[in-house]
Chain A
């Protein structure tokens, strides 16, 4: 018997984020779980990735967990930093491979809402922070990976407001809008999802250990596409879990379950 406790849902999420990253890539990182996932990737299967940040930090050396996207850890001994508009520009001209982002709502075509629940004006229910760099990253980067805790509220059929376009209305609507790249995966506590190539609808790619298609479906307010063979994701090895817990986030800022 292993004496390493199995992954909790947040650790599983971080692990699945890490697996989306391939070695040698330039990775646009935010804070929170994507940062944890990227750092885990770098310490395991992808040691040669380069991390870049919207606030301008480029290729920092490793350090503690940033408190903000602008934290000094995002430009720790960086050879250089870029002005913000130029930092986004490099996504547009093809120098960034993969980016991560979360949102209050993610819909069946991977559109993301970080602006408003309901609508601005009379129908206002909740005000969210706004786009920040989310729209830029999602509009310009070749591959974007969406990250979120999956509930029917957070995964509606259609977002209340498209802050960051995913595949818009599906099919070729994103390309027709003039956008580049697009979301390739959605990582949640339930598993990993991708988008069916023709319709661009969200599809189950793999489920985390213990999860079922029924559970996944109960966590979304729209019908998930289900492939013929639903893969079950491998749990992280004891070695990977130990790196995650002892090196990546030793203070458990992001990988500790709330209330535990």
Chain B
């Protein structure tokens, strides 16, 4: 296929409908207590060579503390997919991910991601296929719906068509008039970690706020780890009948308060914008700076509580909670200020 890193098996497994079905058929169906530690869950269910799907929205309800555990455990040869997939940036520059299915890796109005650019330019990682958010989302949704592909009106006419070997443009065979459509295959990554507000010990999981692609990904992925701000009694979820993900999709449940830090968690805490500014503006231009940054914030940081200590401890976390409550209009806005000190007060 002319790729440097991705193996034929990794390439094909993403769209292997039958293979994913076989895998799901063999999964343990027992409704049992699946709670374990984060290091056990990552150790057992994220394997070298896996296709890892990013969840949440880059730094909103994303399992960032779990990505840090993946870094600590030194997983390798991972293939990354997701829409968006901004955490893949540092997973690439730290050498864990070397092939990606690209939708978006960036930091929005904070400019281009130099980590990502360097990883591709220096050949540390390769882009296997290119997607839009919506097109990739349709691939995950197709998997959840149990349909081999969907026909979309996205991607038509774009140059992404030429950079994506998985998709195909045809004339809609059900329409008598000319009607080009883009066929998008059902996408089946190997593993995803989904951080939720609450779950029970079996894996029934509740998502507050935008679910992004996570409901579809829970169905599509061969292996699913749920990390939760709170583990609640099963009856709490039964009473509200609000689970988005059923327990039988789920392999491991991790009680992980603050699991989305340094990102934000709806209902719980606002993100550490300073941490992201520091990473994006100060560190990403230099490979050594990125490595030092993750040495300090991941390798030399045992868990999320030590991470909070480094961010400022109780003062940081109390402020982050109040900011989130104000952002969600649950307390008076005038109680807090959303102003913050940018590391470099400049947009590039």
Contacts and interface: CB of A to CB of B under 8 A. Distances in A.
Interface of A: 31-32, 54-57, 61, 63-65, 67-73, 75-77, 81-85, 88, 92, 115, 120, 124, 126-136, 139-140, 161-165, 168, 173-174, 176-180, 251, 254, 258
Interface of B: 56-60, 83-84, 102-109, 112-113, 116-117, 120-121, 127, 130-135, 137-138, 140-141, 153-160, 163, 169, 178-181, 209-213, 215-216, 264, 266, 270-271, 273, 324, 327-329, 333, 338-339, 346-347
Contacts of B106: 128-130, 132
Nearest to A163: B158
Most chain A C-beta atoms within 10 Å of own C-beta, residue among B56, B157, B213: B157
18 contacts: A54-B134, A68-B60, A70-B59, A72-B327, A81-B209, A88-B134, A88-B154, A130-B106, A135-B134, A135-B160, A140-B134, A163-B158, A163-B160, A174-B157, A176-B180, A179-B153, A251-B338, A251-B339
Contacts of B266: 72, 75
Contact of A71 (B102, B158, B327): B327
A88 B135 CA distance: 9
A251 B342 CA distance: 12
A139 B155 contact: yes
Given A31-B109, A69-B108, A84 B83 contact: yes
Contact of B209 (A75, A132, A133): A75
B133 A54 contact: yes
B105 A178 contact: no
Contacts of B102: 130
Contacts of B329: 61, 63, 76-77
Contact of A179 (B137, B156, B212, B328): B156
Contact of A56 (B112, B116, B210, B333): B210
Contacts of A64: 327, 333, 338
A161 B138 contact: no
Contacts of A83: 137, 141, 210-213, 215-216
B141 to A, nearest CB: 5
A64 B83 CA distance: 25
Given A56-B210, A64-B333, A177-B180, A168 B137 contact: no
Contacts of B324: 72
A55 B121 contact: no
A47 to B, nearest CB: 19
Given A55-B212, A71-B60, A85-B213, A177 B133 contact: no
Contact of A178 (B60, B180, B216, B273): B180
Going nearest first, the 7 A-B pairs with the smallest beta carbon separation are A129-B106, A56-B210, A178-B180, A136-B134, A70-B57, A177-B157, A85-B137
Contacts of A115: 130, 159-160
Given A83-B212, A88-B154, A178-B181, A126 B134 contact: no
Nearest to A165: B157
Contacts of A120: 127, 163
Nearest to A56: B210
A164 B158 contact: yes
A173 B132 CA distance: 21
Nearest to A119: B159
A136 B130 CA distance: 13
Contacts of B339: 251
B137 A88 contact: yes
A37 to B, nearest CB: 14
Contacts of B138: 85
A131 to B, nearest CB: 4
Nearest to B133: A133
